C-alpha cells in the first residue's frame, strides 16, 4: 500500500514505544505515534499530556494538550505541576521533541535564529516544557525534517540539552545518569547516538534514500552503523489504523513533513 513520508515517520516513532512504558507527548506527530502504538504493538502504553491527562484512551486526535479528549477514560485528570513532577521522579520513560536546530550531540534550539539574542533574525517560541522533559525523561525521541539549516554544527541558542558537549557532560551538569537523546527520526532515516562519543549517527535509511543524501542534508560530519539498516515500510495494518482510527480527518497525515 502506498504511503507518505509523514506516515512513515509516524510508524517509525510508534515502533520505538514499548508496551507498558510511559511517554509524555504533545499534539501532532508524537500524539499520532502514541495512538498508533496503543492500537497495535503497545496496548498498555501509558500516555501523559503536559496539561495533566494521564493514561487516557484517546478516542480521536486532540487539537491541544489541554483538549478534553486527553482526559478521556484517563487514570488521572491532574495538572502540569504533577506531570512535570512525574518526570523529575524518573517515572516517564519517553518523550518527543523537535526544534529549529539540532547539533551533533542532540542539543536543540527552539528559541532564536541569529547571532544576537536581543535582535535575532527569527524569534522562536522558546522552551515551553521541552527543557524539563529532555532533562528528566529517560529517552528523548526527536522528530524533524532533515535539512542542513536544521542539522547544524553549532546551535544559535541552546534551549534544550541533549548530550551537551559529549560523554559525561549531562551528568556533570547535574542531570540524571543514563538519560538523553535516543532516536532522531527524519524524512530521510532514523539516527541514534554512538555510546562512546554521544554523537549522532545514521541507524537506518528510509526506502529509496542513500547515505549520501543524508550526509548532504546534514551540516556536520555524520557517522553511520556498518552496515547501515533499511527502515521497515509501514504495514497495511499500521496504515489502516492511522487513516481510519488515529487521524481520519487528516489533520496530521495531510501535512507535509
> pLDDT tens across 186-219, in order?
999 999 999 999 999 999 999 999 999 999 999 9
Q: Which pLDDT band, with edges at 50, 70 and 90, does 255 fall under? A: confident
Task: For the beta carbon of residue 86, count every other beta carbon within 10 angstroms.
Answer: 18
Q: Please report whether residue 144 resides in a domain.
A: yes
* 32 CB-contact burial (10 Å; exposed 0-12 / middle 13-18 / buried 19+): buried
Write out the residue range of the structural domain in which residue 201 sits. 5-246
Q: Which residues, in sequence order, are CB contacts of 223 under 8 Å at separation 6+?
A: 194, 199, 201, 202
Identify the pLDDT of residue 199: 98
Answer yes or no: is pLDDT of 1 > 90.
no
Q: Please report whether residue 252 resides in a domain.
A: no
Cite the active site residues.
50
Q: Please report whether residue 100 resides in a domain.
A: yes
Q: Please report whether residue 11 resides in a domain.
A: yes
Give 161 or 257, the one with higher predicted confidence.
161
Question: At residue 22, what are phi and psi to the nearest 5 degrees?
Answer: -115, 145
Q: Please report whether residue 253 resides in a domain.
A: no
Residue 225 Cα to chain centre, angstroms: 21
Q: Which pLDDT band, with edges at 50, 70 and 90, does 27 fall under? A: confident
Identify the pLDDT of residue 256: 79
In tens, the pLDDT along 96-137 reads: 999 999 999 999 999 999 999 999 999 999 998 999 999 999
Cell reading at 151: 542539522
Identify the pLDDT of residue 147: 96
Q: Which pLDDT band, with edges at 50, 70 and 90, does 44 fall under? A: very high
Give 27 or 49, the one with higher predicted confidence.
49
In sequence order, the β-bridge partners of residue 54 are 48, 76
* Number of domains present in the structure of the chain: 1
Q: What is the 3-state secondary structure (H, E, C) of 47-103?
A: EEECCCEECCCCCCCCCCCCCHHHHCCCCEECCHHHHHHHHHCCCCCEEEECCCEEC
In sequence order, the β-bridge partners of residue 112 are 123
Answer yes or no: is pLDDT of 14 > 90.
yes
Q: Please report whether residue 123 resides in a domain.
A: yes
Q: Which of 157, 167, 160, 127 is nearest to 141 (CA)?
A: 160
Write the CATH number for 94. 3.40.1080.10
Identify the pLDDT of residue 203: 98
Q: Please report whether residue 251 resides in a domain.
A: no
Q: Please report whether residue 122 resides in a domain.
A: yes
Pairwise CA distance, residues 12 & 231, whole Å:
8
Amino acid at each position: 500500500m502506498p504511503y507518505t513520508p509523514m506516515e512513515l515517520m509516524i510508524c517509525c516513532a510508534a515502533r520505538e514505544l514499548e508496551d507498558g512504558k510511559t511517554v509524555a507527548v504533545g499534539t501532532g506527530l508524537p500524539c499520532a505515534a502514541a495512538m498508533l502504538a496503543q492500537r497495535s504493538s503497545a496496548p498498555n502504553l501509558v500516555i501523559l499530556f503536559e496539561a495533566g491527562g494521564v493514561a487516557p484512551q484517546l478516542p480521536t486526535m486532540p487539537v491541544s494538550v489541554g483538549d478534553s479528549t486527553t482526559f478521556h477514560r484517563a487514570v488521572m485528570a491532574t495538572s502540569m505541576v504533577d506531570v512535570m513532577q512525574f518526570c523529575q521522579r524518573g517515572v516517564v520513560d519517553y518523550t518527543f521533541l523537535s526544534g529549529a536546530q539540532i547539533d551533533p550531540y542532540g542539543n536543540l534550539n527552539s528559541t532564536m535564529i541569529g547571532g544576537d539574542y536581543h535582535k535575532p533574525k527569527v524569534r522562536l517560541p522558546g522552551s515551553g516544557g521541552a527543557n524539563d522533559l529532555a532533562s528528566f525523561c529517560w529517552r528523548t525521541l526527536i522528530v524533524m525534517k532533515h535539512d542542513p539549516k536544521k542539522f547544524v554544527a553549532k546551535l544559535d541558542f541552546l534551549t534544550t540539552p541533549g548530550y551537551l558537549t559529549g560523554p559525561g557532560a549531562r551528568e556533570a551538569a547535574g542531570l540524571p545518569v543514563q538519560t538523553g537523546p535516543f532516536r532522531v527520526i527524519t524524512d530521510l532515516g532514523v539516527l541514534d547516538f554512538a555510546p562512546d562519543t554521544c554523537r549522532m549517527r545514521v541507524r537506518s535509511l528510509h526506502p529509496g534514500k542513500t547515505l549520501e543524501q543524508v550526509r548532504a542534508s546534514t551540516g556536520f560530519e555524520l557517522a553511520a552503523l556498518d552496515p547501515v539498516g533499511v527502515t521497515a515500510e509501514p504495514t497495511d495494518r499500521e496504515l489502516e489504523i492511522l487513516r481510519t482510527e488515529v487521524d481520519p480527518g487528516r489533520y496530521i497525515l495531510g501535512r507535509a513533513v
